[in-house]
Chains A and B, each alone.
Chain A
Amino acid sequence: MNSISIILLVVGISFDLFGCIGLLRLPDIYNRLQSATKCVTLGTCSILLALFLHYGFTSVGIKALLAIPLLFFASTVGAHALIRGSYKYGIKLTNKTVVDHYEEVDQ
């Protein structure tokens, strides 16, 4: 593999590490989803981009390039729907919450 692919792989795995640490350490579901979705999505997109740079314009490279916007939009839309659903379900926010704008908008 060339050096740019290796750098992208290392960057992607470090973002995955930060996302998983956030998934384990943060206090409630809103913080966890906020940390984990952004970091892990960007890390996996970086790994797929490294795969595209390794294979070039072959069938595997084009499929990896097509998977990047698919993963990006699917992950963010799913996370937003899940946050909204868990707020409507009534899961409590953590005690350290400073402000909750969504409650004011909803009334």
Chain B
Amino acid sequence: MMIDIMLYILMSFSFLCFIRVLTGPTMADRMVAIDIFGILVVGICALLVVKTGRLFLIDVAIAWIVLGFIATITLAKYLTRRKLDE
């Protein structure tokens, strides 16, 4: 019951991140909000492991961390206008 309430709270925080995605003036603002949303999803996956008992969801969380890191680094290199293999 308590885990359910915490899950709903974290989902409402991810909707707050989507407000910033919709209203962000620049592209970097939207990318920051997507990055923060990815970190929140890791917390949601960790709570879902406790709620549902499906143990593979922690692997989903670890993969999400690495994918978010790669996406952030790629956009940072795009913003500096350099080549990716530099």
Contact = CB atoms under 8 A, between A and B. Distances in A.
B36 A84 contact: no
A contact patch SS: helix
B52 interface: no
Interface residues of B, number: 43
A47 B72 contact: no
Contact of B17 (A23, A47, A51): A23
Interface of A: 1, 6, 9, 12-13, 16-17, 19-21, 23-24, 29, 32-33, 36-37, 40-41, 43-44, 47-48, 51, 54, 59-60, 63-64, 66-67, 70-71, 74-75, 77-79, 81-82, 84-86, 88-89, 91
B28 A63 contact: no
B32 A74 contact: no
Contact of A16 (B13, B65, B72): B13
Nearest to B77: A85
A16 B43 contact: yes
Interface in B1-57: 2, 6, 9-10, 13, 16-17, 19-20, 26, 28-29, 31-33, 35-36, 39-40, 42-43, 46-47, 49-50, 55
B contact patch SS: helix
Contact of B39 (A13, A24, A41, A82): A41
Contact of B61 (A20, A40, A67): A67
27 contacts: A12-B43, A16-B13, A20-B17, A24-B16, A29-B32, A37-B35, A40-B36, A41-B39, A44-B42, A48-B42, A48-B43, A51-B46, A54-B50, A59-B55, A63-B62, A66-B62, A67-B58, A70-B66, A74-B69, A75-B35, A77-B73, A78-B68, A78-B72, A78-B76, A81-B72, A85-B76, A89-B79
